[in-house]
Amino acid sequence: MTAPRPAPTAGDGPAIEARELSRRFGAFLAVDRVSFEVERGEIFGYLGANGAGKSTTIRMLTGLLAPTSGTGRVAGFDVRTEPEAVKASIGYMSQKFSLYLDLPVRENLVFFGGAYGLWGKALARRADEVLALADLRDAGDVTTGDLPGGVRQRLALACAILQRPRIVFLDEPTAGVDPVARRTFWRIIRELAREGTTVFVTTHYLDEAEYCRRIGLMVDGRLVALDTPAALKATWVPERLLVARGRDLARAGERLRGLPGVQHVVRFGAALHVRVAPGGVSEEAVAAALRSAGASDVAVEGAEPSLEDVFLAVVGANGRGAEAAS
């Protein structure tokens, strides 16, 4: 498990490993015994409300903040005892990542490249590569302060991956960015992951979390759920959501309320949304019931719950002091 020094990301352990990681600020326990592993090449989403402990976890894993207790290993290095080795093998985009707004785009890249020991031709070539990757080919000479927010975030990401890190930590990279720019940003993140980079990303946009292979959910400093989006939905929102379409559904809908397992029937535009408890009636049974009540051209299919449903369920459960799922 322990990678031998000095080769970064040597061995075949997980890219990131947290064990009982905790951080206390005075009386406030910001991160409470968090444990997880992130595999190589995985996009790992870290979700939670503001103040849930996401940034504190990232700062411990990037060697910026010493853990109060517990251990963390990143790229095989201990974040407490070998923070410099950790820093040399990761890319990091802090929540407040700030480029130098008075400098041109390229100068920012040249500076951060130099900070990682790149120089000369190699640096120039790499700068061109990341500019292309971040869709900034023609922006090299623009003063950074003149760029819109979403483009700045792409430049910040470009700066964070200059030295070809095997692992990147992105702390709320798309906060305050418009939906189109967010989509472009995530396209780049997925491209990175395809090339084998491990991506650890925090966000509070739940639609973005769908792009992650696995998601950790933080509530009040604790990691209360951790799994793939599909598994989280299955665990936390076990009810099935059925959507029925057809003609003359409105009156027929009343008939469904008596069926076993049906919890909820709502009209949603021209369709009916039917929530069914696990083990309740099947799609076919619902369709048959609707037809016998006078509806025609009936089609019923299952719909997935959203991560928003999961998030609300998790927060609700943990607000009542329930135990973590994973």
Partner 1 sequence: MIRRLRRSLVRVGAMASKETTHVLRDPRMLYLALVMPVVMLFLFGYGISIDLDRIPLGVADQDRTEASRALVHTLTESGELTVAADTTPEGADRLFRRGDAAAVLVVPQQYGERLARRERVALQLLVDGSDVTSANQVLSKVDALVRAETRRLAGASVAQAQVPLTVKVWTRYNPAGRSAIFMVPGLAAFIIALTAVLLTTLTVAGEWERGSMEQLFASPVGRLEIVLGKLIPYLVLGLLELLLVVAFGASVFDVPVRGAPVLVLLVGFFFVVGMLGQGLLVSVITKNQLVATQAGLLSALLPSLLLSGMVFPIENMPVPLQLLSRVIPARYMVHALREILLKGNGLAVLWPDLVAVIAFAAAVIALSTLRFQRRLA
According to the binding rule CB under 8 A, does residue 191 interact with partner 1?
Answer: no
Cα–Cα distance, 4 to 11 (Å, whole number): 7
Q: Which of 87, 255, 273, 275 binds partner 1 (CB under 8 A)?
A: 87
According to the binding rule CB under 8 A, does residue 116 interact with partner 1?
Answer: yes
Residues 231-250 contacting partner 1, CB under 8 A: none
Our CA angle for 154, 157, 158, nearest 5°, is 85
x/- string (CB under 8 A) for partner 1, residues 31-60?
A: ----------------------------x-
Nearer to partner 1, 67 or 150 (CB): 67
Q: Which of 1, 27, 96, 321 binds partner 1 (CB under 8 A)?
A: 96
State CA 13 to chain mean position distance. Answer: 22
Q: Which of 115, 122, 112, 177 is nearest to 150 (CA)?
A: 177
Beta strand spans in 60-185 (E): 69-74, 77-78, 90-93, 167-171
Q: Which of 13, 29, 71, 111 binds partner 1 (CB under 8 A)?
A: 111
Q: Which of 28, 98, 180, 284 binds partner 1 (CB under 8 A)?
A: 98
Size of site (CB under 8 A) for partner 1: 32
Residues paired with residue 303 on neighbouring β-strands, in sequence order = 241
Cα–Cα distance, 172 to 93 (Å, whole number): 9
Residues 260-289 contacting partner 1, CB under 8 A: none
Closest distance between partner 1 and the C-beta of residue 66, in Å?
A: 6
How far apart, in Å, are the Cα atoms of 224 and each of 29, 52, 71, 254, 315? Answer: 15, 11, 19, 38, 9
Q: Which residues of this protein are in contact with partner 1, per CB under 8 A? A: 25, 59, 62-66, 83-84, 87-88, 90, 92, 94, 96-100, 102-103, 107, 110-119
